[in-house]
Amino acid sequence: MLKNTLVHVVLLFTFTLSAQQTRRVVTLEEDWKFHKGEATNAETSDFDDAQWQTVSVPHDWAIYGPFDKEIDKQTVAITQNGETIPTEKTGRTGALPFTGTGWYRKNFNIDAADLNKKVLLLFEGAMSEPEVYLNGKKIGEWAYGYAYFYFNISDALLEGQNTLAVKLSNAEFSSRWYPGAGLYRPVSLIIKDPASIDQWGTTITTPVVTQEVAKVNIKTNFSSKNLSLKTTIYDAQNLVVAQQQTPVSYDQQFDQNLKVVKPSLWSPENPYLYKVVTQLYSGDDLKDEVATKFGIRSINYSAENGFQLNGETRKFKGVCLHHDLGPLGTAVNKAALRRQMQILKDLGCSAIRSAHNMPSFEQLELADEMGFLFLAESFDEWKKPKVKNGYNRFFDDYAEKDVVNLVRATRNHPSIVMWSTGNEVPDQYGSAGVKRALWLQNIFHREDPTRPVTVGMDQVKATMESGFGAILDIPGLNYRVHLYEEAYEKFPQGFILGSETASTVSSRGIYKFPVEKASMKEYPDFQSSSYDLEYCSWSNLPETDFMMQDDKPWVIGEFVWTGFDYLGEPTPYDTSWPSRSSYFGMIDLAGIPKDRYYLYRSRWNTEDETLHMLPHWNWEGREGKKTPVFVYTSYDRAELFVNGKSQGIRIKNDSTPQTRYRLMWNDVIYEPGTLKVVALDKNGKQAAEKTITTAGKPHQIILEADRKTITANGKDLSFVTVSVVDKNGNPCPTATNALKFKVTGKGNFKAVCNGDPTSLASFYEPQMKLFSGKLVVLVESTKNPGNLNLEVSGKQLKKATISITTL
């Protein structure tokens, strides 16, 4: 148990080349050949792949579609959802063609001098069950599609051209959400001296952290003998703050302690990063050099103080995220991740849970740089299955190897503050599950003694009886808010984490009447209401969790399901078609915030004002009918006006969970015109206001880019939000116009998404209908600097053009 344990720092997995080129990292990104389907002898060097598709990696072969209800159709009872009778599920894994076999081939050259080097082949993610061949010979295989792994290929290389071939196999019934397909994360060669620092061989912690001084401990594992190590710490301005050189090692490991005076401590508010450069010498000969970013911070968990970062108690304001990036699928893209995380920053979110798998290196790098606390999760399954062909097939042979690689690859990130060994695993029942939980937790502790371990538990009663929950460092409860008090009394840790909360469902800009609380509510259009009163059978509305966070000091925070919508799991429309993506997100699949985003923002973002009103005010045919108005605001009171007539003042109060956190006018009678809310301070004076005006017919297209300048590297992205306004400039919230997109200049059309969970339109065709008045177009740079221009047009609409600079 890591209770009351000071947990230490962190490092970012990054290889940096020295001026002497002690090691090289070659990213195998371009000019891969890809084929979907079986291919006899595709592993051999002389195989003719000329007719195969040329792609860049990262690559997700399935995201291009088409959507098809027959793909991975499952007849199953989802026990996690409380189902007992099997039903046909058509969109559970996104209805995209991820199943089957795919082949990738890549030629690369090796100089004669490199044949005397140690060469590693690193895969950061391959979906799934990769079999890897080099020059016709199998050099290895792996199983888990989310795992990082590498092979030493030094003895299999040839001078000149080498041929790498990778076979991937995605079985049916192998996932509960859209897993993607292909080499969806980077592949690289690491070329270094045989006498070198081991792969993931550097461990940085800070056993002592105060405002005055920090002790930085650096353990460096290496190969060979009679070596010395020089270690230098640089601050963010690249100034040396500490240095040490030692010839003394023990069992192929150097163990150094360096002192940093008046350290700048890492936190979400101050994500300050230092850099360690470790240099391995044989005499005066530099053999290897690795540069690593890291942060200085301490963490502590206790019954007395809950979770503490740098000695200060705080609660997790977190979201769960699946790994797909909406219209990009699972192919990792740093620009898309950065946009996601900037939107979360504006929300006031301070924490992310990688659900339910190992995060990408890019996501962790951004979490370090931008300031997010991170719960790094490993598995959704252990030995007992949730789906027929899930990780249960590999658990015995691979679980320890996968955990070891996860920890060693990522343990130095300051953002990671806890590990998770699993999510809602069926092994929660019985003594065998308790032993598995302890076994996995002990592996994490062995590899990283500085961080605690949790499991997202949904069978809370069972874990109370079996002892499963009692052995965890941090008891994580998925929903089951009604059991929090009992769990707090029975579990020995003295605190509880909401490892998964809410599961509220909504569709952006869609409002249903009458306005009422409902569980698993379904409608003929397969949408959910954005009045934010609909939830799942196993869950609850957001306010129930808010009250737990605010009223119970022993509840140390929450991770909301989910931050963004994701492909697959279209609850409550699991059995409906077309419905192929989730409704859980505060933000839709296109990255456009829903109303619920502002409910959370009103409590999480304590720096900025929030004043958000719903619904829209275009309700032809509802004249004279009750149309409730909700306001999500950081103020505690406001007055509402319809066409200048006051609807009264509302003040947040404790009469119901909703009135404690929302301002609600339930008896507003709809009439076209202007809806205005005026937020009031505690003295009753106007502090802020917002208006919504009934819009006329769509007249003009409006474009707004998240970035007007991007990098000319052939993969950077700008996300352009497209909307329409009437002739007076009022947004048209119900517009569904069909639009076309054209990109000219130094860029390309990449993808488009409107956030509609029922849309079967391809993300990769330059045309799509607006959903609730909006959509997002992704444009991609080329490698040539200049300007790219996006033109958006539609029938009877004034078209628009936006220019993006690429540098």
Three-class SS of 569-601: CCCCCCCCCCCCECCCCCECCCCCECHHHHHHH
Average pLDDT over residues 129-144: 98
- Answer yes or no: is pLDDT of 140 > 60: yes
DSSP E strands: which ranges in 305-405? 306-309, 312-313, 316-321, 351-354, 373-377
- Give a yes or no: residue 78 inside a domain: no
Residue 3 confidence (pLDDT): 40
pLDDT in tens, 713-759: 999 999 999 999 999 999 999 999 999 999 999 999 999 999 999 99
CATH number at residue 370: 3.20.20.80
Residue 11 confidence (pLDDT): 36
Cα 173–Cα 383–Cα 77 angle in degrees, nearest 5: 40
Residue 116: band (very low, low, confident or very high) from pLDDT cuts 50, 70, 90: very high
- Answer yes or no: is pLDDT of 135 > 50: yes
Contacts of 482 (CB under 8 A, 6+ apart): none
User: Is residue 631 classed as helix, strand or coil in its secondary structure?
Assistant: strand
Closest by Cα among 516, 555, 519, 556 to 539:
519
DSSP E strands: which ranges in 66-193? 74-76, 87-89, 100-110, 118-123, 131-134, 137-141, 149-152, 160-170, 187-192
Residue 82: band (very low, low, confident or very high) from pLDDT cuts 50, 70, 90: confident
- Answer yes or no: is pLDDT of 2 > 80: no
| Domain shared by 111 and 52, yes or no | yes
**pTM of the prediction?**
0.96
| Domain shared by 560 and 424, yes or no | yes
- Answer yes or no: is pLDDT of 16 > 80: no
Average pLDDT over residues 132-144: 98
- Answer yes or no: is pLDDT of 385 > 70: yes
- Answer yes or no: is pLDDT of 10 > 80: no
DSSP 8-state code for residue 360:
P
Alpha carbons 570 and 52: distance in angstroms, whole number: 34
Task: Mark out the alpha helices in 411-497 (DSSP H runs).
Answer: 430-447, 460-466, 468-471, 484-490
- Give a yes or no: residue 18 inside a domain: no
Q: Which two tokens stand for residue 156?
A: 């299999």
- Answer yes or no: is pLDDT of 136 > 60: yes
Average pLDDT over residues 785-802: 97
E strand or H helix at 665: strand 663-665
pLDDT in tens, 433-475: 999 999 999 999 999 999 999 999 999 999 999 999 999 999 9
| Domain shared by 642 and 772, yes or no | no
- Answer yes or no: is pLDDT of 191 > 60: yes
Residue 8: band (very low, low, confident or very high) from pLDDT cuts 50, 70, 90: very low
- Give a yes or no: residue 68 inside a domain: no
Q: Is 247 exposed, middle or buried (0-12, 13-18, 19+ CB in 10 A)?
A: exposed
Domain boundary among 677, 693, 709: 693
Q: Which two tokens stand for residue 262?
A: 């008046």
Of all residues in the chain, what percent are helix, strand and coil, respectively (each to 5)? 15, 40, 45
| Domain shared by 413 and 505, yes or no | yes
| Domain shared by 635 and 502, yes or no | no
Domain boundary among 693, 710, 726: 693
Alpha carbons 501 and 508: distance in angstroms, whole number: 20
Residue 84 confidence (pLDDT): 80
Catalytic residue among 289, 500, 569, 780: 500
Q: Is 390 exposed, middle or buried (0-12, 13-18, 19+ CB in 10 A)?
A: buried
Residue 17 confidence (pLDDT): 32
Residue 755 confidence (pLDDT): 98
| Domain shared by 403 and 440, yes or no | yes
Neighbours of 41 (CB within 10 A): 10
- Give a yes or no: residue 307 inside a domain: no
Q: Is 500 a catalytic residue?
A: yes
- Structural domain boundaries, residue 266: 197-294
| Domain shared by 669 and 759, yes or no | no
- Give a yes or no: residue 9 inside a domain: no
Domain boundary among 538, 573, 604: 604
| Domain shared by 673 and 797, yes or no | no
User: Is residue 445 classed as helix, strand or coil in its secondary structure?
Assistant: helix
- Answer yes or no: is pLDDT of 209 > 70: yes
Alpha carbons 658 and 531: distance in angstroms, whole number: 12
| Domain shared by 405 and 375, yes or no | yes
User: Considering its fold, how many domains does the chain have in total?
Assistant: 5
- Average pLDDT of the residues of the chain: 96
Residue 97: band (very low, low, confident or very high) from pLDDT cuts 50, 70, 90: very high
Provide the β-strand partners of residue 564: 587
Catalytic residue among 129, 424, 543, 558: 424
Average pLDDT over residues 239-248: 97
| Domain shared by 48 and 131, yes or no | yes
- Give a yes or no: residue 302 inside a domain: no
Task: Mark out the alpha helices in 175-287 (DSSP H runs).
Answer: none
CATH number at residue 227: 2.60.40.10
| Domain shared by 246 and 290, yes or no | yes
Residue pair 697/764 in contact by the 8 Å Cβ criterion: no
E strand or H helix at 364: helix 361-370
Task: Mark out the alpha helices in 502-614 (DSSP H runs).
Answer: 542-551, 595-604
Neighbours of 337 (CB within 10 A): 22
Alpha carbons 714 and 25: distance in angstroms, whole number: 19
pLDDT in tens, 337-376: 999 999 999 999 999 999 999 999 999 999 999 999 999 9
| Domain shared by 785 and 735, yes or no | yes
- Give a yes or no: residue 7 inside a domain: no
CATH number at residue 166: 2.60.120.260
Contacts of 732 (CB under 8 A, 6+ apart): 618, 695, 696, 697, 698, 723, 724, 725, 726, 773
Return left, alpha or beta for 548; rule: phi > 0 is left, psi -120 to 50 is alpha, else beta: alpha
- Give a yes or no: residue 76 inside a domain: no
Considering Cα of 307, then 313, then 317, then 321, what sign does the dihedral take?
negative
